[in-house]
Amino acid sequence: MTGTPPIASPEPDASRPAARDDGALLEALRQGDERAFLALVDRYQAAMLRVARAYVSAAAAEDVAQEAWLGVVRGAERFEGRSSVKTWLFRIVVYCARTRRARDGRSVPLSALEAEGGEDDAGPAVDPDRFLDVASRYPGHWASPPQPFAEERLISAEAARRVREEIERLPPSQRAVITLRDVEGLEAREACDLLGLTEANQRVLLHRARSRVRAALERHLGEEGRP
Amino acid sequence: MSAPATVDLSCAELVELVTDYLEGRLPLDDRTRFETHLCFCAPCRTYLAQLRGAVAAAGRLSEEALPADARDALLAAFRAWRRGPGGAP
């Protein structure tokens, strides 16, 4: 069914181009519009898989995402716009992932992610060798200072690939947090609600994840020579 | 009693506070030390810019399209749901 798309209600993060017409896509999906479904899938499937993998294996995450999309299709009728479409989608995928985890006989504590905190590497944000040691005149100051990223290389497809690969290598809870916060642009409060994290824990996970992505970019942007 | 804002923050300490800073969660005296350090330390200003660059680069991943096979599998599922009981008309 085609026609004039309905006007989407304002989204909290309307500054992101992708978020602007989620409401219109959901409305079209209610009418059974398959292009609207594909547009939402293109936009959110990768992020949904990353979030699901905080709870279940990579293989199970594929099933979980598919179940979540079924929930989206079935639930589109009842979506009332109290949250953004994006937040609603992630709530559905977290629900499906937690259900799957319980069905597989793994425990689902109130906060599955916090219980797994110990698996996350707790290394420093920057290699300690980059700083002067205590015997020096300026202990803790840069011995090997960072060099500015060249903007045109930072926005290259190659840099995007490095970022995606590093996010893939993160421990599951860090990956889920950076996906919701930095890839999808959700507020801290929303990410905490979705994943059942305290604000402090969410910030620790985000800090480790961002630090590693920065380091990966630095390795990449530094290794091929600078202009 | 908290330390006075004049106590120096080292670069190694600053890099562990950048997320709390960007999230607006540093207590006032820590924020003052953080910003004072930045005034006098070009490498730490670069570090902060790099971290912001990393956040922005992650934000651009949301625009990436899916592999065709994953897309096709979900489309097939969508068509089946629509045909099946309880699907949209």
- Residue A19, pLDDT > 60, answer no
Report the complex ipTM.
0.86
119-158 of A, contacting B, C-beta below 8 A: 124-126, 128, 131, 138-142, 145-149, 154-155
> What's the average model confidence in pLDDT over A84-113?
84
A182 chain-B contacts, CB cut-off 8 A: 55, 58-59
* Binary contact (A155, B60; C-beta < 8 A): yes
The model's pTM is 0.85
Residue B51 sits at the chain A interface (C-beta within 8 Å): yes
* Binary contact (A145, B46; C-beta < 8 A): yes
> What's the pLDDT tens digit per position in A23-43?
999 999 999 999 999 999 999
Residue for token pair 């934000």: B59
**Other CB atoms within 10 A of residue B55 CB:** 20
- Residue A14, pLDDT > 80, answer no
> What's the pLDDT tens digit per position in A158-198?
999 999 999 999 999 999 999 999 999 999 999 999 999 99
100-119 of A, contacting B, C-beta below 8 A: none
**Other CB atoms within 10 A of residue A51 CB:** 29
- Residue B2, pLDDT > 50, answer no
CA–CA distance, A51 with A81 (Å, rounded to integer): 22
User: Quick one: CA torsion of A23, A25, A31, A36, rounded to 10 degrees?
Assistant: -170
State how far residue A104 is from chain B, nearest Cα, in angstroms: 23
CA–CA distance, A221 with A10 (Å, rounded to integer): 38
**SS3 assignment, position A142:** strand
> Which pLDDT value is given to residue B8?
84
